Structure 1
Amino acid sequence: MLEPPTELDLSKLPVDQQTKELVGQLLNQIEILFTENQKLRTENQQLKDEIE
């Protein structure tokens, strides 16, 4: 099974503040999509179990 995204210290990125903010927003979206994917996988498995 996949692991959730790990923490990333944005202060260590050698880029400007706007880029750091964009990277932070992207990481948040990745986490949201990861969580939604896990929910859908669980729901999919439940549906498979019901039809067996």
Structure 2
Amino acid sequence: MYLTPEYNIKQWQQRNLPAPDAGSHWTYMGGNYVLITDTEGKILKVYDGEIFYHR
């Protein structure tokens, strides 16, 4: 499910996340922001969603 386009976070700057590396993207999984590879879905980094997104 987290690999679907709906979970691909394109506005990572708004959430104060670091820029994704080439070949990776941010997704949302279980209340956390997760940086995964585009091809395999391998987890590269995880951040608590409450820390980075302030309304």
Decide: shared fold, TM above 0.5.
Answer: no
Richer in helix (by share): 1
Look at both structures and tell me which one has the larger radius of gyration over its CA atoms: 1
Higher strand share: 2
TM-score by length of 1: 0.27
**Structure showing greater relative contact order (alpha-carbon pairs closer than 8 Å, 6 or more residues apart):** 1
What TM-score, normalized by structure 2, do the two folds share?
A: 0.27
